[in-house]
């Protein structure tokens, strides 16, 4: 488990006209500093929403030293994901439901310089992907249906988190357990108790008056949840 809870603000909830400033707001020091910045790439095919793509990610990478965590909710990630790794994204996550050859894709992402992440939708079972996950650095458990921010947290996915946590703690997997969807002051402690390492939070950070303080508050809550 990560030494301390990792907080990854999602710019899906930020002001798209001020993305550089919005990332700077969580790039401070100490507990106010985000560990990763989570960037949702949606193509209006794999999910019904359209957000942003590689040109914007390149601009964000040039504007901050906070590691960029790219979550690709797109068709054909085997073709497109490598570009995000080559651009300098810290972590590039693809969907199990969209990848044609997830093991080869993980190897290619790592070869291009990024950590490789695999995401599963709320209704996708974890067990069929356990062998593939041996090649990944991150497991992103979706706790809402991918595509739109502001949805309610789906508690049932925490069973997948617990399974992944056991496999990591026993050495069968070596990865960061990340969760995305509906993470806020009401849900973060139960997610932490289940074994999450990294928490993606959108409106809980960018809906706050001071996003940096919101990051610190969420981290403190996650630490409490972890302590039980």
Catalytic machinery residues: 40, 180
Place of tokens 């650095």: 137
- Give the CA distances from residue 146 to residues 21, 50, 132, 173, 215, in Å, rounded to whole numbers and listed in that order: 26, 12, 21, 25, 22
Strand partners, 50: 43
Give the H/E segment covering residue 72.
strand 68-73
Helices (H) and strands (E) in the chain, counts: 9, 8
Of 83, 88, 170, 81, which is closest to residue 117 (Cα–Cα)?
81
Describe the crossing of helices 77-87 and 54-63 by its angle, rounded to 10 degrees. 20
């Amino acid at each position: 488990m990560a030494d301390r809870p990792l907080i990854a603000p999602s710019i899906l909830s930020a002001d798209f006209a001020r993305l550089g400033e919005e990332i700077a707001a969580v790039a401070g020091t100490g507990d106010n500093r985000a560990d990763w910045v989570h960037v949702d790439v949606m193509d209006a095919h794999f999910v019904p929403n359209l957000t942003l793509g590689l040109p914007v990610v390149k601009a964000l990478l040039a504007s901050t030293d906070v590691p960029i965590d790219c979550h690709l909710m797109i068709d054909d990630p085997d073709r497109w994901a490598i570009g995000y790794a080559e651009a300098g994204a810290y972590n590039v996550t693809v969907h199990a439901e969209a990848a044609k050859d997830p093991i080869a894709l993980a190897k290619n992402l790592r070869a291009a310089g990024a950590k490789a992440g695999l995401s599963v939708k709320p209704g996708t079972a974890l067990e069929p992907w356990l062998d593939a996950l041996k090649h990944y650095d991150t497991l992103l458990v979706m706790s809402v249906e991918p595509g739109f921010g502001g949805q309610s947290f789906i508690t049932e996915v925490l069973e997948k988190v617990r399974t992944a946590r056991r496999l990591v703690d026993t050495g069968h997997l070596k990865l960061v357990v990340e969760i995305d969807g509906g993470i806020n002051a009401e849900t973060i402690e139960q997610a932490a108790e289940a074994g999450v390492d990294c928490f993606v939070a959108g409106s809980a950070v960018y809906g706050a008056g001071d996003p940096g303080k919101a990051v610190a508050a969420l981290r403190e809550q996650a630490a409490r949840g972890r302590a039980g």
